[in-house]
Structure formats: structure tokens, C-alpha cells
Structure 1
Amino acid sequence: MKFFAKAALVCALSFIGLQASAFEATEGKDYRIVSPTVDSPRDTIEVVDFFAYTCAHCQRLAPMLQDWAKTLPPDVTIKRVPVAWEPATQFLSQIYYTFEALDRLDDLHPAFWQDILDGQITSQADLQNWLEKHKVDLTQWNNAYNSFAVTMHTQQALQTWQNYRLDATPYVAVAGKYLTAPHMAGSRQKTIEVLNWLIEQERQQRQKH
């Protein structure tokens, strides 16, 4: 069984490699080099999805990235990093990590995102009513929101997007070396093609060392 599982993995990686090789991304157009590079895990090819709750373009890209993430081979991991451009909106990143701490990302994250963009949440009172509507215990919410872990994750998110020197969202990073986005690649679908190509480039570089 282990032999067949390993063979299936090799076939999957080969297929993805063939897909990537059929497409050639152009530096400066489809993607850009991150300089200086940002620290990234060496035991996996890390993809970072930078988004903002105030960004409708990010929301439209999100379902496509979510579907794409389900097809990734074992040597690739993806994580979301919320971006808040100013201190006044930093609480939005903190809300994202509170959803995560409460294990409610799947249902609360997309609903909150839509309602923020629709202008339904504009005050603390609106947020409290929204949480009650979605059956969130307010005591648990406040404990998680103010916890050390959520505060730390929020600060790390701020540092991460600043390390990449982002000037807009959405952006997607690969291995701390590359950035691509729909406004660079030309479309959301093309962004996925660029990501596959960049991942394959990184995979080949690592195999040489």
C-alpha cells in the first residue's frame, strides 16, 4: 500500500509539474521578486494569501483560492494573513484571528466579510448584534478577542505584510520570494496559473540544493 501511495504522489507532482511547464510566467508582469526575501519555512513551500476585509477584490478571489488549496500536493501549504492598512482598522485582523481561536472560521469569516462590505457592521453595537445573531457567546468572544494568542497573531500579521512591503490587496506570496495578484496576472484564473508555475520553480530550485 505504501508503494502505491508513493507512486500516486509522484504522479500527482509530475502532473502538476507538467501543467506548470505548459505556462511561462513573466517577471515584472505576472509576478514580482520579493527583495529582500522574507523568512519562509524550508520543510514546505508556503503560500500566503494576503487579504483585507475591506477589499471586494480579495473576496472575489477567495473562493477560487479555497478550491485551489484543496488540490495542493503535500509539499505545499497555504495560510491566510489579514491586512489592516492603519491602526484604526487593526481590529478587523483581530476579529479574523478571534474567529480562528473559536474554531468558527468556516461559518463566521465569509459571513462577516460579506456584511462588512455591505456596510451592515459600522459600530461596536452592530458587531455585538451580529455576534448574537450568529450565536456567538459574548463572554467567550471577549476572552478570545483579548487573549495573548490573538493579540500575538494580529501583531505577526502586521509584521508579515510589512515585510513583504505590500501596497495593495489581494496579493499571494510564494516561499517568501515571489508575489502575484490578479491585477498583475490579468485575471483571477491567470493568478492560479502563475501560482502553480511559481511553486514548480521553487520546487525545482530546492531539488538542486
Structure 2
Amino acid sequence: MITLSKSKRTLLSVAALSLAISFSGLSNAQSPKIEEGFDYRILPVAQPVESKGKVEVIEFFWYGCPHCYDFEPELSAWIKRQPKDVTFRRVPVAFRDDFMPHSQLFYALEAMGKGEAMNEKVMYAMHKENKRLMTENEIADWVASQGIDRNTFLATYRSFAVVAKARAARQMADAYRIDGVPTIVMQGRYVTSPSIAGTKAKAISVMDYLEQKIRKDKFK
């Protein structure tokens, strides 16, 4: 049997402890601390969720927002890797009356079953092709250029259901205290965004953290 002297055992113990501390520091460096009040905030009044036993994620956005367009690739990648217990939906925000046509555009496309396919195209048109899409005619002309029947779209765009949803979205943004976009709200109470977290990558990390927290708290 090979034995070590007491002094050698002490040296090895110190070395092992140093190595453990080193790995711990590396781990902390790779996983920055996420703190309430810095990386996310909690709504003073929690809002109801649509599905029980699910992690509800809402993105409040505006088609014309350059930051929303910039965040879209990271957000889309995050959505694609979520399990079935995560629900995601977008809510358009109209901070001014002249932005309401964009909210109606969103809900009209959704009502026609074309929202998922067209949302990215709308943002590309506005941010890369300099399309303003601020009036009904501008919107209808652009939609028609995408192969959608103009009259069918306009009938949907002007419908009571679509106008009501656009107005409800504005009221919802007020209830959630949305003062900027893009803003992510999880489980009706946790709020984060690239501007709150500091970067797009940190915002995604915060969303992962909150997702696990919500599950741990049994979807509360």
C-alpha cells in the first residue's frame, strides 16, 4: 500500500480546494447572476393567464419598432426550442392613435390564418424596404402585393372583431404597464426585455431563468 505523508495530504487538499473554487468562479462567469429589479421586474398586480399548467409568454411589440425587428431572430430561435408546456403569443402595442392600423394589420392577418407567415415580411418591408404602411390604402396595397386578395383583406381589416381586438390590445398594454417595446411578460407577472436586461442575449437568459422559476413555483 502506498501512503502519503501528512504534509503531502495537506498540499493535495489545498490544491483540490483551489481547483474547486476556480471551477466555481468559471461557472459563475459563464452564468451571470439574474436579479429581480435589475434583469426583470414583477408587476404590482399580476394579470390572468389564458392556460393553466402552462408557462405563458407574451411579447408586446410594434411592427414599426426597430428594436423589435432587431430582437426577432433571437426571440424566434428561443420560441422554436420551447417544450409543449410553453405558450407564446404576440400583442401589438399602439402607443399613438396613428399606430392603430398596424395593430389592425396584425389581427387581420391572424384572422386570415396568415399571421405566422406574414409577420416577419411586414417587419422586413417596414425596416428594410422603407414601407411606412401607415394608412389603410398603403397597407392594403402592400398586402395585395404579397398575393393576398385585397378586398378579402380589407373586409377582415375593417371587421368589428379585428377592430375590437386592436383596441383590447391597447387596453391590455396599459394593464401590463407597457412603456416600451419589445417587452416580454411571463406568467402575467414577470417583465423583461433587452433594455431591462441590458442585452438581447441577457434577455434570453432571463427568459430561460424565469421559465424554470415558473415551473418550480408550479406555474404561479
- Which bracket does the TM-score occupy, shorter chain normalised? 0.7 to 0.9
Q: Give the alignment's Cα RMSD to 1 decimal.
A: 1.9
One-letter amino acid of the structure 2 residue matched with residue 79 of structure 1 = R
Q: Which fold has the larger relative contact order, with Cα–Cα distance below 8 Å and residues 6 or more apart in sequence? A: 1
**How much does 1:94 deviate?**
0.7
Choose which of 101, 105, 109 in structure 1 pairs with 2:111: 101
**Partner Cα distance (2:136, 2:187) in 1:** 37
Count of aligned residue pairs for this structure pair? 187
Which runs of structure 2 are paired with 1:132-171 in the superposition (5 Å)?
132-171=144-183
Consecutive aligned runs of 4 or more in structure 1 exceeding 6 Å deviation: none
Partner of 1:199: 211
Partner of 2:131: 120
CA deviations on 1:73-116 (whole Å, 9 max, x unpaired) are 22211111111102221111010011111122233222222222
Please tell me whether the aligned partners of residues 111 and 156 of structure 2 are also in contact (alpha carbons under 8 angstroms).
yes
- Normalised to the residue count of structure 2, the TM-score between the two structures is 0.78
Flag the structure with larger Rg. Answer: 2
Aligned CA distance change for structure 1 residues 75 and 106 (closer, same or farther; 3 Å): closer
**Partner Cα distance (1:106, 1:38) in 2:** 25
Please tell me whether the aligned partners of residues 24 and 197 of structure 1 are also in contact (alpha carbons under 8 angstroms).
no
In the alignment, structure 1 residue 28 sits paired with structure 2 residue 37:
yes
Please tell me whether the aligned partners of residues 57 and 184 of structure 2 are also in contact (alpha carbons under 8 angstroms).
yes
Gaps spanning 5+ residues in structure 1: where? 1-21
- Normalised to the residue count of structure 1, the TM-score between the two structures is 0.82
* Percent identity of equivalent pairs: 30
Gaps spanning 5+ residues in structure 2: where? 1-30
Partner of 2:184: 172
In the alignment, structure 1 residue 37 sits paired with structure 2 residue 46:
yes
Please tell me whether the aligned partners of residues 104 and 163 of structure 2 are also in contact (alpha carbons under 8 angstroms).
yes
**How much does 1:160 deviate?**
1.6
